[in-house]
Structures are given as C-alpha cells and as structure tokens.
C-alpha cells in the first residue's frame, strides 16, 4: 500500500511492491508460489476531514464512496454497513413524507451515530505521518492512548495531486528488473486481471486539455502518469528520432483503480465509467 501523497514523481507504486517482495525477510513468503491474478485500487483514506457533502437531490453517498474508512485500523466494512443502515432508515422516513428531493436526514443521522464519533477520534492519525514514520507513530500513541482521540485540535489535510515535487528537485528511482518468479512486469500482470473493454467505444479516460501532458506533466514532472498508473495505460511515445513526444492512452489496459484521477498533478485526467460497463474480471468474486 502506497499513500498517494508521495512527493517523488519517479516513484512507482507497482514497482515498489515488486521490490518489497524481494526483501530477504519477505521473499520466502512468496517462494514456491504462483501468480494467479492481478488487480489494483485506490482507497479513500482521507478520513474525517475529507468527508464530502453526503446528500444531494436524488442521491446519497454511502460507504467507501463517501470515504468512511478508519485509517489506523485499515477497516471500513463496518462503517460502510452502518452508513447503509442509517441511509435506509432516512430513506424510509423520507418516503413516508412524500419523497423530498434531498434526504437531509441522512447526514444528520450519520453525525448522530457511533460512525461519526469513531472517525472523529482517529482524524489526526493519518495527517500526522507527514512528519515521517517514527514521528507519526509517536504522535498516534499520544493521540490514542493519552488523549483518547479528543485532542482540541484537528490537523489539516492536503490534496494528493498537489504534493509532487518537480522532477528537477527529485532523485530518479532505479527499480530492479523483475525476475519473473517473485517480481513481475506490469503488462503480464495486467493480462491476469482479465481486463476487457468493448472495442470501438469512446475512451472512458479523457483529457481536459490535450496539450498539458507534454507542456506541463512531461516538462516539469517527467510524465509521472507513466509510473503512478499500475496498468501501463499512459505512455509517452516519440518519433523514431526521439522527437515529437505525445501521450498515448491505452484505455483498454485500465483496471479501474482511479489513481490517475487522484494523482495527476494538473487534474487534467478525467475518469468515468466505461460506456459498456466493462473492466477487470477478478476470479472468485
């Protein structure tokens, strides 16, 4: 798991995991095993400070859609279920009142439940790790065991896409070449995701400004979309002589993790549900 607020544009979450598996203390766990499937996903872990408006005319935001994740526990199933229960109760009451356009009792019900209190008590844990692992751990201990999550302050959070440093200010990362036994390459991994998109449908990945990937992302950040995407969707291609760089979007590779929509430094990439509803086909699910 890699926090998408990382700063080095040369970091690749996929390759970080491949390298992790080769650590002497970790490698024995994978030796003798067989790669059977692949997938990737970005989780909403902004916590209490990033909860959006939960109701709008005609709909409600429930569960992981709203970001009801307890980050220190890395658990959100119980909070998702509770938000669904609160939503069901609010909807039932609303239907008895002539079905208003917006069910405003739902966010009020969430705030009155143990769900709200649980997220509030751990609100400062994730932001504290901006100071580093050991400082974050020390603060978490004080916050949870001494202050019981009732600190009289609330740390601010930041947008993940705004954290990248310029390439000129960063050090390139040399990842080891995959050995095909413990560590693997992206494309063969994507094949195992069973991803499929109907041919000739409009791309579900669009750019607000087609010029930005070259004039900004490549020029300033060395095209980080080539690395933060775990499926090889974004590729900088050039002419035979190395000139005329341009961004090629291999939308058919997309495993729907939505990292690009979150991490793109210019917020120029727009991800939507594919027209045909296709995507990865994970086994045993």
Q: What is the pLDDT of residue 199?
A: 82
Please give the CATH superfamily to which domain 47-161 belongs.
FAD/NAD(P)-binding domain (3.50.50.60)
pLDDT, the chain, mean = 92
Residue 285, pLDDT > 60, answer no
Question: What is the Rg, in whole angstroms, of the alpha carbon atoms belonging to the chain?
Answer: 21
Q: What is the pLDDT of residue 146?
A: 94
CA-closest candidate to residue 282, choices 30, 17, 36: 36
What pLDDT band is residue 65 in, cutting at 50, 70 and 90?
Answer: confident
Degrees (nearest 5) of the Cα angle 126, 134, 2? Answer: 50
What is the third-level CATH fold of 13-39+163-271?
Alpha-Beta Plaits (3.30.70)
Show me where the domains of the chain are located: 13-39+163-271, 47-161
pLDDT, tens only, 177-195? 999 999 999 999 999 998 9
pLDDT, tens only, 154-164? 999 888 999 99
Residue 42, pLDDT > 60, answer yes
Q: What is the pLDDT of residue 55?
A: 94
Mean pLDDT, residues 240-258 taken together: 93
Distant-in-sequence, close-in-space partners of 165: CB < 8 Å, separation ≥ 6: 7, 8, 9
What pLDDT band is residue 64 in, cutting at 50, 70 and 90?
Answer: confident
Higher pLDDT, 15 or 92: 15
Mean pLDDT, residues 140-163 taken together: 92
Rounded Cα gap, residues 266 and 209, in angstroms:
10
Mean pLDDT, residues 50-64 taken together: 92
Mean pLDDT, residues 47-67 taken together: 91
Q: What is the pLDDT of residue 68?
A: 92
Rounded Cα gap, residues 30 and 17, in angstroms:
13
Q: What is the pLDDT of residue 173?
A: 95
Residue 234: strand pairing partners = 249
| Token pair in block for residue 255 | 């495993």
Rounded Cα gap, residues 159 and 66, in angstroms:
16
Phi, psi of 235 (to 5 degrees): -140, 130
What pTM did the predictor assign? 0.85
Q: What is the DSSP string of 73-138?
A: TTB-HHHHHHHHHHHHHHHHHHHTTT--SS-THHHHHHHTSHHHHHHHHTTTHHHHGGG-HHHHHH
Q: What is the pLDDT of residue 130?
A: 85
What pLDDT band is residue 10 in, cutting at 50, 70 and 90?
Answer: very high
Looking at the chain, the whole-number percentage of residues with pLDDT higher than 90 is 75
pLDDT, tens only, 72-122? 888 899 999 999 999 999 998 888 766 678 899 999 999 999 999 999 999
């Amino acid at each position: 798991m890699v926090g998408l607020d990382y700063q080095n544009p040369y970091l690749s979450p996929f390759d970080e995991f491949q390298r992790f598996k080769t650590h002497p203390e970790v490698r024995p766990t994978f030796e003798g095993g067989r790669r059977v499937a692949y997938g990737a996903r970005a989780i909403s872990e902004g916590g209490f400070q990033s909860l959006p408006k939960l109701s709008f005319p005609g709909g409600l935001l429930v569960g992981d859609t709203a970001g009801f994740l307890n980050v220190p526990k890395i658990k959100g199933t119980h909070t998702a279920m509770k938000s669904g229960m609160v939503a069901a109760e609010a909807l039932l009451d609303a239907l008895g009142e002539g079905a208003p356009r917006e069910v405003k009792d739902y966010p009020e019900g969430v705030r009155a439940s143990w769900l709200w209190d649980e997220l509030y008590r751990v609100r400062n844990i994730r932001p504290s790790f901006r100071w580093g692992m050991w400082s974050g751990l020390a603060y978490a201990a004080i916050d949870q065991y001494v202050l019981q999550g009732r600190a009289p302050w609330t740390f601010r959070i930041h947008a993940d896409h705004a954290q990248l440093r310029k390439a000129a200010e960063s050090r390139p990362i040399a990842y080891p070449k995959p050995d095909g036994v413990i560590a693997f390459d992206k494309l063969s991994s994507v094949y195992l995701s069973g991803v499929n998109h109907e041919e000739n449908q409009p791309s579900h990945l669009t750019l607000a400004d087609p010029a930005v990937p070259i004039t900004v992302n490549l020029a300033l950040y060395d095209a980080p979309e080539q690395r933060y995407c775990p499926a090889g969707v974004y590729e900088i291609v050039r002419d035979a002589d190395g000139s005329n760089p341009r961004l090629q979007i291999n939308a058919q590779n997309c495993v729907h993790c939505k990292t690009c929509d979150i991490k793109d430094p210019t917020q120029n990439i727009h991800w939507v549900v594919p027209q045909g509803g296709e995507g990865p086909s994970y086994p045993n699910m």
